[in-house]
Every structure is written in structure tokens, then in C-alpha cells.
Amino acid sequence: MVAASRLVAQPAPAARLDWSADDTSRIAWLEQHGRTIVTRYAVVVAPTDSVSAAWQQALADSLDRGLAAVRRLIGAPMPWQRIAERPVKFYLSPDRFVSHASGHDAVFISLWRARDGMAPFLHEATHELLAAAPPFAPWEYPDSAAEARAAARWPLWLTEGIPDYVAQTVAAESGWHEGDIFAIGGLAKVDSVCAARVVTNGRRAEIIRAVGAAGRVEALFTTDRASVAPAFYACAQSMAKYLVETIGLTQAIALFPAIKTNRVDEEVRRAAGVPLAELRRRWLARLRLSDV
């Protein structure tokens, strides 16, 4: 038995978030209550009772142009791409959740974020465009040992930072409005935003350790997400920008299929002439951040 006062003083333990658990029911609900608009590169599914056909058509047309620009920028089609020439399907669901990609050509975005201009449409769509043929994500491996190995080598900074880099580049060039959930402010500001957020973050060691290296920040996937995500996403985007400046976007994109074969370090060394760890050290120095 623990005194009630002690219970009150204890912070709630972090619980695991699973933002895709309801995706099947989101699709089922939208099939009943939604309208589907199809363009060459984007399919938008949204509830008829809360979205006008004109608004939805305008969004679909903008996304079509945005995704054509993303495809040009990344050099698609590429033989290893899972999505091939298929469009990305955007499910705008009325409930509130963390926007996410699925690996099934589909992304899920809260309708209220889309209406507020806060939806990371191109970031999520780029996840679909950069997914290699399965198994790619750790959970796509058939047994738990293979899944654990894939998770340990998974470079989350790269798989989140490059979609941010791509979305921000297309937004700057085309006038597309990409939602900026973590208020980073674009590629010109990302280095200073990362540095400022990391030095004041109580979990800076966890965050810095995962940028430019294999693995992920576990707190991103729990109810502690809000305490690490603004700094992690800024720094992942900053490191991705540094990588692209060093080896070029084509070589950076070519790292995605190399995740499957555990050849990311080898490919970086071949393209940059130095190991990824050295690039990471140079990036930290540029931002005047100390290593952990």
C-alpha cells in the first residue's frame, strides 16, 4: 500500500503510442462516409459531411503537383521503390492522432490538422515514396530476431530527416504549404533551431546519440513524445541537410534501399570519402554541439 500523496507525486509512466492501430477502422469509416478524388499521383479520401467537394478537389490537385515535384526531386521511379508508379492515398480522418505513413501506399492525417494548415502531407507521402520493397520496416520481418536486428540498425534520423528535407525543398520551390508541426521554420533555420532545442532539452543525450547513427529515440513512440519530438525532428532534418550538402540528394536517397542490406555506413563512406561517424562529428561541430 502506498500513501495517496506519494501516488500523486509520481509522474505517470510513459505508455507506448500506437497511432496506426485504428487505421483499418478509419478506412472502413471513410469508405462509408467519405468522398474519393483521384489524380495521377494523389488520391484524397475525406468525409463528405465536413469537407466540400471544391476544397477536396483543390487539395488533390495541389497534392498531385506537389508529388510530381517530389518524384522529380528524388529521381523516381527507382527500381527498389515499393510504390512504383502508383499514387499515394491520403486518408483524412476526423479523429485526432499523430500523422503517419503505412507502407501500403497510404498515409493517415487528422482532418483538423489538414484544415489548420498543419498537416505534413509531403513528409508523410515521401515516406511512401522512399519505402523499399518489403521487408523494409523492422515489423515487416518474419521473425522477432530479424525484426530486432532491423530495428537496431534502422537510422530513424535519416528516414525522418530526408522526408523533411524533401518536403521543405518542394515547399520552398513550389509555394506548397507544408504543415510545420514542430515550428522549425524551414531549411534555413533548422540548424539553429536544432542547436537551441538540444542544449535546453533534459533528454539531449538520447536525442543526440540517435542523430547520424543507427537506432531511434524510444520516447518518440511513447506518451513522452512531446518532450523529444520537437528537438529530434529539427536535428534529424539538420543532419539530413548536412548529408545532402556533402554527398548530394541522389546519394542520400540511395541510402534507403541500403538500410535493408545494412550497407548505409558503407555507402556513406563510398560517397563522402569518410565514415558516417565522421560526418556526424563535423555536423555537431558546425552546430557547436558537444557529443555524448
Mask for 35-74, x = binds Zn ion (CB under 5 A): ----------------------------------------
User: Using CA of residue 30, residue 34, residue 36, residue 37, what is the dihedral sign?
Assistant: negative
Minimum Å distance from CB 267 to Zn ion?
Answer: 21
Minimum Å distance from CB 156 to Zn ion?
Answer: 9
Q: Among residues 105 and 160, whose Cβ is nearest to Zn ion? A: 160
| Residues whose CB falls within 8 Å of the CB of residue 231, separated by 6 or more in sequence, listed in order | 194, 197, 198, 201, 204, 207
Are 99 and 167 spatial neighbours (Cβ–Cβ below 8 Å)?
A: no
The residue type of 200 is T
Cell of 230: 520537437
Q: Which residues of 174-195 are buried (b: 16+ CB within 10 A; e: fewer)?
A: bebebbbbbebeebeebbebbb
**Binding residue count for Zn ion, defined by CB under 5 A:** 1
Cis previous bond, 77, omega within 30: yes
Q: Among residues 56 and 237, whose Cβ is nearest to Zn ion? A: 237
Q: Among residues 99 and 201, whose Cβ is nearest to Zn ion? A: 99
Minimum Å distance from CB 265 to Zn ion?
Answer: 22
**Which residue number has the CB closest to Zn ion?**
160
Q: Among residues 130 and 198, whose Cβ is nearest to Zn ion? A: 130
Cis previous bond, 135, omega within 30: yes
Mask for 132-171, x = binds Zn ion (CB under 5 A): ----------------------------x-----------
Q: Among residues 100 and 282, whose Cβ is nearest to Zn ion? A: 100
The residue type of 277 is A
Identify the DSSP state of 135.
S
Q: Among residues 160 and 178, whose Cβ is nearest to Zn ion? A: 160
Strand runs (DSSP E) across 176-225, as ranges? none
Minimum Å distance from CB 84 to Zn ion?
Answer: 21
Minimum Å distance from CB 287 to Zn ion?
Answer: 22
Contacts with Zn ion by CB under 5 A lie at 160
